[in-house]
A and B are shown apart, each in its own frame.
Chain A
Amino acid sequence: MLVYIGRRAVLAIFTVWAISVLSFAIIQLPPGDYVTSYIAQMAAMGSVVTDEEAQNLRIQYGLGQPMYVQYLKWVRLIAQGNFGMSMEWRRPVTEVIGERLWLTVVVSVAALILTWVLALPIGIYSAVRQYSVGDYLATFVGFIGLAVPNFLLALVLLYLGFVLFNAHIGGLFSVEFQDAPWSAARVWDLLKHLPIPALILGLAGTAQQIRIMRANLLDELRKPYVVTARSKGLSEARVIVKYPVRVALNPFASTIGYTLPYIVSGSIIVSLVLGLPTVGPLLLKALIAQDMFLAGTIVLLLGVMTVIGTLVSDVLLVWIDPRIRLEET
């Protein structure tokens, strides 16, 4: 077991390295650099940047050096916990991302937990009571959840909240806590604001997981080992939960890896609509402005989140399905 986890962890480190190269490369791909877009911005505002000034800017940011030197510089700084300066904001990247990263993690994990809490029981019910009224209802709601874009749902809820309750349901904090230092009251305020964004972000995933759970469980329910468990005299609920559900959980666990970053990157528009202080909108702005260090850091963090998520799901999978461990050794 430890060997298995150890091997996975080593692989994860290599993956993170590959991701760092890729995120650096992706940031470098678009033509021009930050200075080019800075010049364009200045020109739009009516001032002219001379070639000399531009050249100085490039040297200052190390943009003139070969690609691998720029990469190594970036990696060395990261190793020291310094993610560089955001050119757009003219502040350290860590400071710009700062709290947003943690809020993103909180919102994502909340959405993920909500997805599971809703999808697991509904999926099990749908399979065990296949073609019942409840199953049809879950299927109907599920397909609507899949078909409606998140941001549209966000807009509808915003509108309804405003019209019916005269309440603003956007954001993660009430106005008075917006920039307040952390306190128990602020955490409570966050918890109160969390359910709606989590629900909106998790809805599509929930609908999808309900379908996956239902399909998997239907496959498993007719397997002979379920008959065996039943013929032992176990109660029906125990038979279902202990045996076929455990086997059907496999795809649930294996999707954690990409669910986390999906919620972050897939939430950009929702975050904009709801005014959530997460990294999604920040990434969008950084990419538009070619704010290389900021964008690179965010892409890197998303990648690392994917790797951590995958590691977590690998460990979960071994617990759920011991056959995987046997195949490894």
Chain B
Amino acid sequence: MGAEIATSLPQPTLLSVRNLKTYFAQDEGTVKAVDGVSFDLYPGATLGIVGESGCGKSVTARSILRIVDRPGRIVEGEIKFRRPAGDGGAGGGQVVDLAKLAPNGLEMRAIRGAEIALIFQEPMSSFSPVHSVGSQIIEAILLHQQVSRRDARAMTIEMLRRVGVSSPEERVDQLSNQLSGGLRQRAMIAMALSCNPTLLIADEPTTALDVTTQTQILELMRQLQQEDGMAIMLITHDLGVVAEMATDVAVMYLGRVVEQAPVDAIFHAPRHPYTRALLRSIPRIRSRSNERLTPIAGSVPHPYDRPPGCPFHPRCADFIAGTCDRAAPSLRAVGDQHSVSCFLYE
């Protein structure tokens, strides 16, 4: 099964998403939640995916894991993922196109949770309310590793200790509602990292936490990344978090990546009008108190009513009549590892 979908990927790319389209066919019409997303992720790097609510960030993440809820479906594109080689890697360094795997097939399930792990926003309800936290982590370990239940339990306790849960021997048997939000998110990270994934997808991991806890969790993720060397795909709408964590940034708007670049280029030399507008809209500590924020004009269009051409053109300051409303631009390189999808650069 693996052989026929095995493809090639330029070294050293870990994940390469090309022209991914995930649509939700509904009675009212088709929602094109992800409409031609492309980006690359390198081993050990942190890619920040930024965008407003509803731009398709989470659906992109779920498409990679192949856990998009019905009626969502990947209609086009490829998700090439390099499976880890060496002792831990069942895939032996092979590159597979996740978009072509059966969502609940053996190979996808062997990758999901073991090689690509997910943590997400709701620490309050991301653990089952009726199973102990530990049993849910042990389950993940037993599923992907050939160890005894006793060893899995010891590994779970050790993992909880690593993520900074105090007295993990007791916590392991507690229910999630006995833990605070911060502890739950730590336990969630412990579960995600329990099988040493090469890619961790963090979907708004700190959005529901208070600021202090937020910093601690980000710090923990960075520390674990240094120790284990996994790549992180960090989905957020918080540019501050991106500046702090990411090595590369992909900016999404209405289901498309409009700009991808190393983090410095995004913050210091943004090219796409949307990226620029986004940066202008965040408050600065050094700004004068009477300076007003510059919001992005207009609002995100209704998902059933996508504008023709470049989806951003109705709100764009650099709108070129007759061009931007006719055709959609494609992502093209404008510099080293810097690509933009805009007619200004074509």
> Which residues of chain A have a CB within 8 Å of any CB of chain B?
222-225, 227-236, 243, 246-247, 320-323, 326
Q: How far is the CB of B146 from chain A (nearest CB, A)?
A: 15
Q: How far is the CB of A221 from chain B (nearest CB, A)?
A: 9
Q: How far is the CA of A242 from the CA of B6 in the complex (A)?
A: 33
Which chain A positions have C-beta within 8 A of B191?
228, 232
> Which residues of chain B have a CB within 8 Å of any CB of chain A?
65, 67, 69, 104, 109-114, 117-118, 120-122, 125-132, 136, 139-140, 143-144, 175, 177-178, 188, 191
Contact B127 A228 (CB under 8 A): yes
Which chain A positions have C-beta within 8 A of B177?
323
Contact A232 B113 (CB under 8 A): yes
Contact A222 B69 (CB under 8 A): yes
Contact B130 A247 (CB under 8 A): yes
Which chain A positions have C-beta within 8 A of B130?
246-247, 320-323
Q: How far is the CA of A232 from the CA of B142 in the complex (A)?
A: 11
Q: How far is the CB of B181 from chain A (nearest CB, A)?
A: 13
Contact B175 A232 (CB under 8 A): no
| Nearest-CB residue, chain A, relative to B137 | A232
Q: How far is the CB of B74 from chain A (nearest CB, A)?
A: 16
13 interchain pairs (CB within 8 A)?
A224-B125, A227-B67, A228-B127, A232-B113, A233-B111, A233-B114, A233-B140, A234-B113, A234-B143, A246-B130, A322-B130, A322-B132, A323-B130
Most chain B CB atoms below 10 A, which of A222, A225, A233, A320: A233
Which chain B positions have C-beta within 8 A of A235?
104, 109
Known contacts A323-B130, A323-B175; is A231 also within 8 Å of B125 by CB? Answer: no
Which chain B positions have C-beta within 8 A of A230?
67, 112
Q: How far is the CA of A231 from the CA of B115 in the complex (A)?
A: 11
| Nearest-CB residue, chain A, relative to B121 | A224
9 further interface pairs, Cβ-Cβ under 8 Å (given A222-B69, A229-B128, A247-B130): A224-B120, A224-B122, A224-B126, A228-B188, A230-B112, A232-B113, A243-B131, A323-B175, A326-B175
Contact B109 A233 (CB under 8 A): yes
Which chain A positions have C-beta within 8 A of B136?
228-229
Contact B126 A225 (CB under 8 A): yes
Contact A232 B125 (CB under 8 A): no
Contact B128 A247 (CB under 8 A): yes
Contact B139 A236 (CB under 8 A): no
Which chain B positions have C-beta within 8 A of A246?
128, 130-131
| Nearest-CB residue, chain B, relative to A223 | B125
Q: How far is the CA of A320 from the CA of B130 in the complex (A)?
A: 7
Q: How far is the CA of A323 from the CA of B109 in the complex (A)?
A: 31
Known contacts A224-B120, A227-B120; is A233 also within 8 Å of B126 by CB? Answer: no
Q: How far is the CB of B98 from chain A (nearest CB, A)?
A: 13
The 8 A-B residue pairs with the shortest CB-CB distance in the complex, in nearest-first order = A233-B113, A232-B113, A231-B118, A233-B112, A233-B109, A224-B122, A224-B126, A232-B140
| Nearest-CB residue, chain A, relative to B116 | A231
Contact B127 A225 (CB under 8 A): yes
Known contacts A227-B120, A228-B136, A247-B128; is A233 also within 8 Å of B110 by CB? Answer: yes
Which chain B positions have C-beta within 8 A of A229?
128, 136
Q: How far is the CA of A233 from the CA of B65 in the complex (A)?
A: 9
Which chain A positions have C-beta within 8 A of B69?
222
Which chain A positions have C-beta within 8 A of B131?
243, 246
Q: How far is the CB of A246 from chain B (nearest CB, A)?
A: 6
Which chain A positions have C-beta within 8 A of B144?
233
Q: How far is the CB of A317 from chain B (nearest CB, A)?
A: 11
Contact B139 A231 (CB under 8 A): no
Contact B125 A225 (CB under 8 A): yes
Pick the contact of B113 from A231, A321, A323 — CB < 8 Å? A231
Contact B128 A322 (CB under 8 A): no
Q: How far is the CA of A326 from the CA of B132 in the complex (A)?
A: 13
Q: How far is the CA of A232 from the CA of B127 in the complex (A)?
A: 12
Q: How far is the CA of A228 from the CA of B131 in the complex (A)?
A: 13
Contact A234 B109 (CB under 8 A): yes
Which chain B positions have C-beta within 8 A of A247?
128-130
Q: How far is the CB of B7 from chain A (nearest CB, A)?
A: 22
